Structure 1
Amino acid sequence: HLMRYKRTYRYDPVFALGFVTVYDQLMEGYPSDEDRNAIFEAYIKALNEDPEQYRKDAQKLEEWARGQTPTSLVEFSSREGEVESILKDIAARAAGNSFSYSRFFAVGLFRLLELANATEPTVLEKLCAALNVNKKSVDRDLDVYRNLLSKLVQAKELLKEYVDREKKKREERTEVQKANEAVTKCSGAY
């Protein structure tokens, strides 16, 4: 997280939403929820930030986005509210070149669009314009993100196939062993 140490870096909830989204997707299926949470906390605390704040802000933005339409999402600046104020602050900082853009921010934007059921590509364009964020950068980073998700799905499928294959081999070995034991018992009886 070198960007954390950029001069223009300042925590914002959209970044947190993106980070939490990526983290949760990458760690989905991790054997222990307790360990998954401990890793998350350790990572965020290592950045001298608050893991609870990340989760709380991500949840707040998700709840807000679920109540939005594609139009209301883009027109955040014409309304008052906690999330609207956050987005207005980001737009002002981005316009003044005091905003530190990142891939996690792009994923956070994508998550907002997803939850507001904004499937039309022009909505992302309008949202980027409203936030004064470079759409080409967002597009590039979302392509990287989608590619990562695709590879993650493939890796999970391969792992499942491997686990299933090993389980079947183990069952076959157990059956052979039981058959051998039965033969040995029968042979010993005569």
Structure 2
Amino acid sequence: MAAVTSSFSLSTLSHCSQRKNLSLSSSTRFLPPNSESFRLAPNFSIQYVAVRASDSASRVVVRCSSSLSDIPTVSETKLSFLKAYKRPIPSIYNSVLQELIVQHHLMKYKKSYQYDPVFALGFVTVYDQLMEGYPSDEDRDAIFQAYINALNEDPERYRADAQKLEEWARAQNSTSLIEFSSREGEVEGILKDIAERAGAKDSFSYSRFFAIGLFRLLELANAMEPTILEKLCAALNVNKRSVDRDLDVYRNLLSKLVQAKELLREYVDREKKKREERSEPQKANETIAKCLGEHQISALK
């Protein structure tokens, strides 16, 4: 008996169905499309094993499988975040956080995704800019923990790697920043690995957070000339046009955040003033009542 194994995408399924004597294994079940258990991962594939025996016709056993079957949905990631941090978040922060976690989920679960410290630096930069001025530092840290944990990643690693790159960048200049490949060091090794993977194309997943991480490196090294960004992108094998586009989006986001936070601050100040104005007559009445009470007590004596 000889066995032949092959695999093919969904688009070629029709070719298999045209074979004669096709039978399904007893463990194969078909579920309706609206079933809770019916979910196809992005790289879903079908395998078949053709078994030929001398005394019987060829038989094809079809098996469905996906290496990404454990990938959570966006809704599940958002629910994990809400379960981990149950306190209310002001709408100005919450709306942006919800949008970020959707984008982050899609980045994280791409087939070519691989964590790297520049990506981490980019996200930490965005998060800290967003949450600047948050009423409670403790809550801000708790939200960060809940957010990263919801994506099944390590918040401590994000913070540690971001700090490591920030400290390194502060010690660089325009020249040393783009000549990382000619030097040895921990961060230099990280950048070399990124350049190698980006050059291979299929093992590197470019993202907006990565672009912001690059921008932060330039900012801390005081190397903001456009030519430096171009050279750094070339050294890392990254498309500068994509970086420019995503940095424009980032700058627009920061501008909107500044305006929104200013409006929020004005609203809080107005509400505080209103409460103070409402409390003044009450305090006056309490003072009068206290004085009258003291006067009546004196008269009784």
In 2, the alpha carbon distance for the partners of 1:150 and 1:131 equals 28
Q: Which has the higher contact order (CA 8 A, sep 6+)?
A: 1
User: Normalization by structure 1: what TM-score?
Assistant: 0.92
Percent of pairs with identical residues: 84
**Counterpart of 1:114?**
219
* Counterpart residue identity of residue 165, structure 1: R
Q: In the alignment, is residue 152 of structure 1 matched against residue 257 of structure 2?
A: yes
Determine if the alignment matches structure 1 residue 99 to structure 2 residue 204. yes
- Give me the TM-score of the superposition, normalised by structure 2: 0.59
Corresponding residue for residue 88 of structure 1:
192
- The aligned amino acid for 1:56 is A
The residue type equivalent to 1:117 in the other structure is N
Match of 1:133 in 2: 238
**Residue 74 in structure 1 maps to residue 178 in structure 2:** yes
Q: Which has the higher helix share?
A: 1
Change beyond 3 A, Cα 1:181–1:39: closer
Report the number of matched residues.
190
Q: Displacement, 1:56? A: 0.6
Matched residue SS, 2:113: coil
Q: What is the CA-CA distance between 1:148 and the residue it aligns to?
A: 0.6
What residue in structure 1 maps to residue 97 of structure 2?
A: none
Deviation at 1:187, TM superposition (A): 8.5
> What is residue 51 of structure 1 aligned with on the other side?
155
Q: How far is 1:35 from its partner? A: 2.4
Structure 2 residue 136 is matched with structure 1 residue 42: no
Corresponding residue SS for 2:223: coil
Quick one: distance in 2 between partners of 1:25 and 1:12?
20
Structure having the higher strand fraction is: 2
Matches within 5 A, 1:175-190: 175-181=280-286
- Cα deviation, 1:74-95, whole Å, max 9, x if unaligned, reads 1111111110110011011111
The residue aligned with 2:274 is 169
- The root-mean-square deviation of aligned C-alpha atoms, in Å, is 1.8
User: Match of 1:63, SS?
Assistant: helix
